[in-house]
Chains A and B, each alone.
Chain A
Amino acid sequence: MNEPEITLELVQKHGLTAEEYAQIRAILGREPTYTELGIFSVMWSEHCSYKNTRPLLKTFPTRSPRILVGAGEENAGIIDIGDGLAIAFKMESHNHPSAVEPFQGAATGVGGIIRDIFTMGARPVCALDSLRFGDLSSPEVRRLFAGVVAGIAHYGNCFGIPTIAGEVYFDKSFDGNPLVNVFCLGVLRHSQIARGKAQGVGNPVFYVGPATGRDGLAGAAFASQDLTEESAEQQRGAVQVGDPFMEKLLVEACLELLATGAVAGIQDMGAAGLTCSTCETAARACTGIEIELSKVPQRAPNMTPYEIMLSESQERMLIIVKKGREAEVQRIFDKWDLPWALIGEVTDTGRMVVKNHGKVVADIPAAKLANEAPVYHREAREPEYLKSTRAFKLDDLPDVKEPVEALKALLSWPTIASKNWVYRQYDHMVRNGSVVCPGSDAAVIRIKEDSLPPLPENSPERGQPVPEKYVAISSDCNAAYVYLDPYEGSKIAVAEAARNLACAGATPLGVTDNLNFGNPHNPELFYQLKEAVRGVGDGCRALDVPITGGNCSLYNQNPSGPIDPVPTIAMVGLIEKPEHITTQWFKDDGDAIILLGDAVDLLDPLYGLGGSAYLQAVRKLKTGRPPRCELEKEKALQEVLLRLVRSGWVKSAHDCSEGGLAVALAESCISQVVARHTPKLIGAKVDLARIKGIRLDALLFGESQGRVVVSTGPEQAEAVVAEANRHGVAARKIGVVGGRNLRIKTAHGTFVWKLGEIHDLWWNSIARLMH
């Protein structure tokens, strides 16, 4: 077989610089083979190596007494939730593939993150997705949106995992470059943590799953480039094709196999496929690994070693088995009718040796390949646009004249409107654990005995009762804020995720982040990334939540420009008792409505209108300084809220975010769903007339942070206000639940909305845009 000659042009085509090539030659002590060049190019891509982001990521807070497996150690972080139980969770992006082929791009994103979780020995029990698209008035955006949602639904529904939470934002900056961030959470016992290590010299290496094809060739490298107009045509081959049925078989077989104790190490073949799984497992165990490619099941004829090593065919696992226990492995895979092959063994050489029909085609020091990718400290420069956006003042902008129409416009705005068009396509109830379904501030999942992987036959833990646990999940990031102030906006993403958990009654346990940014070689875009990482880190430190892992997706830009920067925060929390589980909608007529937190941030010159949904949706402006995020105040608010929830006084809790207080109140009235076409609408009479000297638009639609609307029985209202004040948190009774309208009295007049009308706008707007 003739392999191409290695030229500088070929090196550059692989996304490697001349310096990186020199480093490869130094590591090998010779010229690389073509296969080796391919291997280095994927392992040293941003997607696999974090070469542009590693110095920044090191600044994240990653420690907590609850952490069992920390950030960067393995395929996903693991956190202790008590009683010998633990959760593994992680978020990952599939932006580039979804831009090119939305259905398969999104579907394989779900498949990949599920594998990351069961690779840790955990049973995947729920998924979440954080999506961003362009303006829905564009047919191309609608095609991408519909395709991504259908792809997630296809994979998740068939696999049988509830897609229980998420967020969807729409903004022109995502035209042609949608963001698809998918999250999975799994459950396991402390004793069941599996490792991606090639341990035990002489142990056999198994390949499990369908045959390797030419699909997804070098997908990791593709994800580390800017999207171009030609991407759709040229890169479609880099998008993999998913088979959720195969994945379902794999998870059941792997968990059954792990219970036998015959497994020494396990890793999925995700980005960079066979290459990444072999060199990383060897590097983690400080061993070597040798594989024979002719033994790898192949779907296409005449595949070259280069293609086999770089293929990202889906639903494949690499399993290192304890020598002598091969028969147990074979029995389980045969039971599940899964294809498997013995392809190599663990060595003590520290090298990753790849042979094809006995001939060595790659021989690389595994640890140097996996861990010693170059690291770059990129230049950061404050973007020019910030000068004008920061200079924005409200003086030239008249106050809102039609507040009734403005709220209707906000509730119809796709970013705020109900996302039922999306989540009704996802099976969000399978596994009988969905206690709070999509549509409240945070989703809540119940963990019970069958959420856990099977135990070995002789385990002393067998037959012991498993206490039920309740885990809340939320994902957040307002990209307009991050665009207008990367540091402050990123703090807000963390604060809001934690606030959403507190509204559900949960104490935060950990964060997985997904950093979606533009090209790091552009100093202005790198500034966004650098400041965002600082903001996320400060937010997590202040609220005492560790980051347990995550993912970076750079190069998110297309010919019309970069995306708004998006550091997606997915946060997981624990609810102590089932009676603490709280939802966002008002419950009973006569309940008191209380606003926790300052009604308006009087120190903010824009009163929370900078970067607000109101400015964007009604005034068609994306500018100004975003709201301030005072982390100490935020922490105090969340602690008080949790204290109140645990006291049993809080009937509903909903945080103020996009659209401000008016949208939060409206959603509290209209967001409860009983069944198909059967909402439970409940009105409210709100009195804000005593808040004087403030613009009406700022009062109703300003997005000052650190505010939550709660409802409580009328007899507890005073006590709730007093308890909040006692802990230094502002609180005031602003109204009463009941009636058929939302009525808000202000110093500027009284405004009334019919519940049926605003529910229709909020519930059906996205469906109307899609038809």
Chain B
Amino acid sequence: MVALTAAIPGDDSKMNFAVLQFPGSNCDQDCVHVLRNVLGHSAWLQWHKERSLRGADAVIIPGGFSYGDYLRTGAIARFSPVMQAVVEFAGNGGLVLGICNGFQILCEAGLLPGALIRNRSLQFRCEHVYLKTVAPDSPFTRKIPEGRLLRIPVAHGEGCYFADAATIRRLFANRQVLWQYCDAKGRVSDDASPNGSVRNIAGICNATRNVAGLMPHPERASEGILGCEDGRLVFESMIEALTERKLAVK
């Protein structure tokens, strides 16, 4: 396990990420590895029973099966002490990214609209997919070059994004849909989606654009040795946005 640390005050070039650790989280160490060892920032595992976020600049809610996904994916995690702190942090404009199970938790906690239901195939799917970035104007997508498709793996059984028609219309109108599943040529087709999400939605953000969730795993596509580095763009977007904020405060 990665040693617990806390925010490093004073160094504005190093961002501080709290990676939440619920019982049953299993992508927590992967996120810490990428943020710390690949991107060179500070990251630590934040135990679910803690109420403080220890001065984090941003929060990552990683993938896994929090609380075993009993009842409903993400349904129990939202009541944990650390999620109280995350709700408050998000309310103050803090950046929060939920990946896979983290996306499900954010929806359950009401920080993001809609829900993630079982894949239409009724089977778990683990494979690389292509993503089209729909809204480049967010802290999670700002560094993604226009027209560039991302190739990132998914691994989930319940990743089919669902919301009522009015919500979907609002999400698109407000540019809250960040990513859609597409094929290698950028076409948003039924075949390109691994789970049957409404309008191929892969990731969204809230109306204030500081909380985002996506089903694909950018932390699994951040190193050349794993065959793909597109996922880094998501984290690097966040880092750029955070850097800008720190400079603005000064």
Residues of A in contact with B (beta carbons under 8 Å apart): 150, 153, 157-160, 243-246, 248-249, 252, 255-256, 336-337, 423-432, 434-435, 446, 448-450, 454, 578, 673-678
Contacts and interface: CB of A to CB of B under 8 A. Distances in A.
B54 interface: no
A432 B224 CA distance: 12
A429 B153 contact: yes
B223 to A, nearest CB: 7
Interface stretch (B8-16, B62-70, B207-215): B62-70
Contacts of B24: 158, 245, 248-249
Contacts of A246: 68
Contacts of B123: 150, 424-425
B219 interface: yes
B33 interface: yes
Nearest to B26: A160
Contact of B23 (A256, A336, A428, A449): A336
B126 A245 contact: no
Contacts of B69: 158, 245
A424 B119 CA distance: 13
B159 interface: no
A383 B226 CA distance: 49
Contacts of B125: 424-425
B194 A157 contact: no
Interface string B12-28: 00000000000110110
A430 B2 CA distance: 17
B225 A678 contact: no
21 contacts: A159-B26, A246-B68, A248-B23, A252-B1, A424-B126, A425-B124, A427-B124, A429-B153, A430-B26, A430-B63, A432-B33, A435-B225, A448-B33, A449-B33, A449-B37, A578-B225, A674-B151, A674-B184, A675-B151, A678-B128, A678-B130
Interface string B223-241: 1011100000000000000
A498 B219 CA distance: 33
A432 B62 CA distance: 13
A304 to B, nearest CB: 30
Contacts of A446: 225
Interface in B93-136: 123-130
Given A157-B157, A256-B1, A678 B34 contact: no
Contacts of A337: 23
Contacts of A424: 123-127
Interface in B1-55: 1-2, 23-24, 26-27, 29-30, 32-34, 37
Contacts of B64: 160
Contacts of B29: 431, 450
A408 B210 CA distance: 53
B183 A157 contact: no
Contacts, number: 115
Contacts of B184: 674-675, 678
A450 B29 CA distance: 7
A118 B67 CA distance: 21
Contacts of B126: 423-429
Nearest to B151: A675
B65 A432 contact: no
B32 to A, nearest CB: 7
Contacts of A678: 128, 130, 183-184
Which of B2, B32, B126, B194 gathers most chain A CB within 10 Å? B126
Given A245-B68, A674-B128, 11 more contacts: A157-B157, A160-B27, A256-B1, A425-B123, A425-B126, A430-B155, A430-B220, A431-B26, A435-B227, A677-B192, A678-B128
Interface residues of B, number: 43
Nearest to A154: B124
A674 B227 CA distance: 9
A552 to B, nearest CB: 32
A245 B67 contact: yes
B157 A431 contact: no
A714 to B, nearest CB: 25
A536 B7 CA distance: 55
B23 A432 contact: no
A578 B183 CA distance: 30
Is chain A's binding surface mostly helix, strand, loop or mixed? mixed
A770 to B, nearest CB: 10
Quick one: which of A252, A428, A435, A678 has the most chain B CB within 10 A?
A678
B217 interface: yes
A249 B21 CA distance: 12
A504 to B, nearest CB: 14
B225 A429 contact: no
Nearest to A248: B24
Nearest to B65: A158
A439 B127 CA distance: 12
Contacts of A336: 23
B146 interface: no
B191 interface: yes
Contact of B70 (A159, A245, A429, A435): A245
A450 B32 contact: yes
Residue of B1, B70, B151, B183 with most chain A CB atoms under a 10 A cut-off? B1
**A-B complex: 9 closest residue pairs judged by Cβ atoms:** A160-B26, A245-B68, A675-B128, A432-B30, A427-B155, A158-B65, A454-B1, A450-B29, A678-B184
Contacts of A449: 33, 37
Contacts of B183: 677-678
Nearest to A678: B184
Contact of A249 (B23, B127, B151, B157): B23
Contacts of B194: 676
A158 B225 contact: no
Given A434-B226, A450-B29, A426 B68 contact: no
Contacts of A454: 1
Contacts of B23: 245, 248-249, 336-337
Nearest to A157: B124
A432 B151 contact: no
A707 to B, nearest CB: 28
A472 to B, nearest CB: 14
A432 B220 CA distance: 6
Nearest to B220: A429
A575 B125 CA distance: 29
A252 B24 CA distance: 10
B99 to A, nearest CB: 12
Contacts of A427: 124, 126, 155
A431 B225 contact: no
Nearest to B126: A427
Contacts of B33: 432, 448-450
Contacts of B155: 157, 427, 429-430
